[in-house]
Amino acid sequence: MLEIQGRVTRLDPRLGRVGFVLWQAGLVALGVFVYFRVRGLTEGSVDLANEHARDIVRFERSLGINVEAGLQDLVAPSGSLQTFANWIYVWGHWPVIIATMLWLAWRHRVEFLRLRDGMMVSGALGLVVFMSYPVTPPRLAGLGLADTVTEQSEAYRVLQPPAFVNQYAAMPSLHSGWDLLVGMAIISAASTLALKVVGFAMPVLMAFAVVATANHYIVDVVAGVALALVGHAVALWLERRRAARSVD
C-alpha cells in the first residue's frame, strides 16, 4: 500500500501538497477556534479593564503619544476615509490571513510554517495578557470616540461573532501584530514588486486603522508588534531545528 501511495505521489506531486494544505488548515482552524474561545471565556472585570484603560491614557499623555482622537478626527470628516479604515480593520485581518496562509501552504512551505508558528506563539502570549491585564478599548472607554466599525460595517459581526470576542482585550493589538507577521511572510515569499509592496503596506495600514476606528490605543499596537516579533524569533528557531533534523 505504501509503495502504491508513493507511486501515486510521484505521478502527481499535487496530491502530497493537497494533503499538507488540508492537514495544516485543520491545525490552524483548531488553533483559531481555541484562541477565540479562550479569549471569549476570559473576559475580565469591566471595572478593572476601565482602570487599566485610564492608566494607558495617562501613560500615553505623559509621553505625548495619545493620538487616538487626532487620528479619528482625521478620518471622521470623510466618509470615504472612514469606510477605508473600517474595511482595512475588518477585511485586512482574517480574510488576508486566510488567503495568505493558503497561498503559502500551497507554494511556499517554509514561509508558511514560519508564519504559522509565529502566530501560534504570539497568540498564546496574547491570551496570557488578555487574561491578566484586561483593557477597555478606546471606543468603550468614555473618551468621546466613535465605534466606527460596529456602527457602519455589517461584516464585523460575521467575521468576529460576539460570543467569541472579549470586548475588554484591547491589549495587545494582534490585528497589528499578526498583520506584521503576514506582511513579513509575503515579502519573504513574493517574487514580484507588487506583492512586496502589499507586504510592506499591510501592517502600516492596519496600525493606522485599529487606532482610527477606536479599537486600540497606540501602546496596544506597540505591544502587538512586540509579541509578533517574539513569535517570529521563536518561529525562526523552530525553523532552524527542522532544517537541522532534515540534514540528519
C-alpha cell at 86: 473600517
Closest listed residue to residue 206, CA positions, set 231, 228, 235: 228
Closest listed residue to residue 139, CA positions, set 58, 51, 216: 216
- Answer whether residue 233 shows pLDDT above 90: yes
Q: Residue 36 — pLDDT band, cuts 50, 70, 90?
A: low
| Local structure of residue 153 (DSSP, 8 states) | -
- Answer whether residue 245 shows pLDDT above 60: yes
Angle, alpha carbons 142-52-218 (nearest 5°): 75
- Answer whether residue 42 shows pLDDT above 60: no
For the chain, counts of helices (H) and of strands (E): 12, 0
C-alpha cell at 193: 514588486
Q: Where are the alpha helices (DSSP H) in 64-192?
A: 68-75, 79-91, 94-107, 109-132, 148-152, 155-159, 174-189
Angle, alpha carbons 68-205-237 (nearest 5°): 110
Summarised one tens digit per residue, pLDDT across range 81-105 is 888 998 899 889 889 999 999 999 8
Summarised one tens digit per residue, pLDDT across range 150-168 is 777 665 655 565 555 677 8
CA 66 to chain centre: 23
Q: Can you give the pTM of this predicted structure?
A: 0.83
Cβ pair 205, 165 in contact under 8 A: no
Q: Which residue has the higher pLDDT, 152 or 1?
A: 152
Q: What value does the mean pLDDT take over residues 140-154? A: 81
Q: How far apart are CA 43 and CA 162, in angstroms?
A: 12
